[in-house]
Amino acid sequence: NLEIVTVTSCDALEVVFETQGLNADGGRQTRLEMQLRTLTLNHLPMLKHIWSGNPNKIFKFQNLCQLKVTECQNINHVFPFSMAKEIQHLQELYIAKCGVEIIVAQDETADTDPLFIFPELTSLSFRDLTKFQSFYGGLHNLDCPVLRHVDVYHCDKLVLFTPKSLNYQEIVPVDTLPLLSIEKLVRNTRELILNSKDVTMICNGQLNDGPIYTLPALRLRCFHDESDKFPSGFLQKFINLKKLK
């Protein structure tokens, strides 16, 4: 019945949930339904896996609502493939200052171009992930129908928005596929967060930016280089703008 797990500053910890080598006992036909709702992991420098092996053979973590992982530099991915297909109640995902390259581990036995659906996910935050490249290590589709808050900060290898071209797979390597469609994000959000790279793509006509100009709040950041020129006329397109940060 454990619902909340917090693990902080355990310098030697390599695995949080060890499932590798476990067998379903007593010939149990159904998997054990875990009640875990909130998992917080902070400053675990040796952490390699949150879930080892294939946890779905024995356990169901379908009740997970909130996952926060910070300062875990040794971790490569967050979810095993089979688990990512089942966590339908996930509402918030926050990953910061980690060695994460992808969110979902690649599965060679999985269907090509898998679909990941998170029907309740409202908040997605990726901050200071210098190795982060893509949600999944191959062609895939990500569907988050109620996503309202997206905060991507200093993830320089990540392509955030899908370019206009239908053949965007040819524009970027398969392991750095864009995270989201800007049209789908704008459908639910009230504040749009853009960095200098995003603004440049918009002004160069690389993104389908039509829907963004009706939003009431805009946050701009990461214009670090002196050569970054703020495009004149960009702000004037936001006809309903009430809040600028």
Q: For 165-198, how does the pLDDT look when each residue is reduced to its tens digit (9 = 90+)?
A: 645 455 555 556 888 888 888 889 989 999 988 9
- Note whether 33 and 68 are within 8 A (CB): no
- 213-238 pLDDT, tens digit per residue, is 999 999 999 888 887 777 778 899 99
pLDDT above 90 (res 164): no
pLDDT for the residue 29: 56
Tell me the pLDDT of the chain averaged across its residues: 88
Residue type at 193 in one-letter notation: I
Task: Catalogue all structural domains in the chain, each as residue range(s) with its CATH number.
Answer: 4-19+32-244 (3.80.10)
CA distance 131 to 101: 5
Q: Can you name the residues that pair with 191 across neighbouring β-strands?
A: 217
- Note whether 167 and 139 are within 8 A (CB): no
Residue type at 96 in one-letter notation: A
Q: Where are the alpha helices (DSSP H) in 42-162?
A: 81-84
- 27-53 pLDDT, tens digit per residue, is 555 688 899 999 999 999 999 999 987
The model's pTM: 0.89
pLDDT for the residue 171: 55
CA distance 186 to 69: 26
